[in-house]
A = this chain, B = another copy of it.
Amino acid sequence: MMKSVGIVTEAAPKQSRKQELEQKAALLFREKGYAAASMRDLAQVMGIEAASLYSHIKSKEELLQNICLPLAQELSQGLTEVLSLEISAREKLSKALSHHLSVITRNTDQSIVFLQEYRHLSEPFRSEFLSMRKEYEQQLMLILRQGIRNGEFRKTDEKITALTLLSAVNSTPQWFRKEIGITPETVAGLLTDILVNGLATQPIASSSNTK
């Protein structure tokens, strides 16, 4: 039952076919959406018949789960680690955004599917996913609250700010291509700078300016 190929020399893409399937599925789901992407579409991309897919997977939804859940795990774990550090709120926010961006820019297809198609998970998984997301948002709010309390951040609505930050960084996979020379770390620096320091060269006095 167990694959005893555990010699260290396995750097070659031997563990491939299923992984290749999952990669192709992520790309297909990204492009057409989970519901609109058929197993026959996926089979065509793989160069085989639709029924043959079931030699590798149990169901279509298993593919979606294998895209969403590992990503959710990796994101959650990273943020929890950052929260445990004893550094300023500003540094925490910077590290949190960097880790988040690092994860999603290294998995752009998966991230887009993760963000947009999670609702097609069936029931134990969907709820689990949503509560993980809620906890993630609340952990981010914790950082903001700390920063506001000790004067590092301005007094903003924590919830709105957290959701706004998240959706700003979550749009990155839409335009990020690793071929164009820009690294995830550079992106993290750029976005963190914009969001923390703002666009303006000098802040405006009052809170309201519209009339």
| Residues B197 and A203 in contact, CB atoms below 8 Å apart | yes
| Residues B190 and A156 in contact, CB atoms below 8 Å apart | yes
Q: Which residues of chain B are within 8 angstroms of A167 by Cβ–Cβ distance?
A: 167-168, 170-171, 174
**Of B185, B191, B198, which contacts A199 at CB under 8 A?**
B198
Shortest A186–chain B CB gap in Å is: 8
Residue of B nearest to A200 (CB): B196
**Of B95, B154, B159, B188, which contacts A200 at CB under 8 A?**
B154
Q: Which residues of chain B are within 8 angstroms of A187 by Cβ–Cβ distance?
A: 160
Shortest A14–chain B CB gap in Å is: 32
Query: Could you say which of A93, A166, A200, A207 has the most chain B C-beta atoms within 10 Å of its C-beta?
Result: A200
A residues in contact (CB < 8 Å) with B: 32-33, 35-36, 90-91, 93-95, 98, 116, 119-120, 144, 147, 151-154, 156-157, 159-161, 163-168, 170-171, 174-175, 185, 187-191, 193-201, 203-204, 206-210
Copies of this chain, tallied across the complex: 2
Q: A160-B190, A161-B194, A197-B204 are in contact. Are A94 and B33 (CB under 8 A)?
A: no
Shortest A105–chain B CB gap in Å is: 12
| Residues A200 and B153 in contact, CB atoms below 8 Å apart | yes
**Of B116, B120, B189, which contacts A116 at CB under 8 A?**
B116
| Residues B210 and A189 in contact, CB atoms below 8 Å apart | yes
Q: How far is the CA of A150 from the CA of B135 in the complex (A)?
A: 42
| Residues B210 and A153 in contact, CB atoms below 8 Å apart | no
| Residues B161 and A171 in contact, CB atoms below 8 Å apart | no
Q: How far is the CA of A131 from the CA of B157 in the complex (A)?
A: 35
Q: Which residues of chain B are within 8 angstroms of A147 by Cβ–Cβ distance?
A: 199
A-B complex: 8 closest residue pairs judged by Cβ atoms? A198-B198, A167-B171, A35-B35, A35-B36, A168-B168, A197-B198, A197-B203, A189-B208
Residue of B nearest to A159 (CB): B175
Shortest A100–chain B CB gap in Å is: 13
Shortest A27–chain B CB gap in Å is: 14
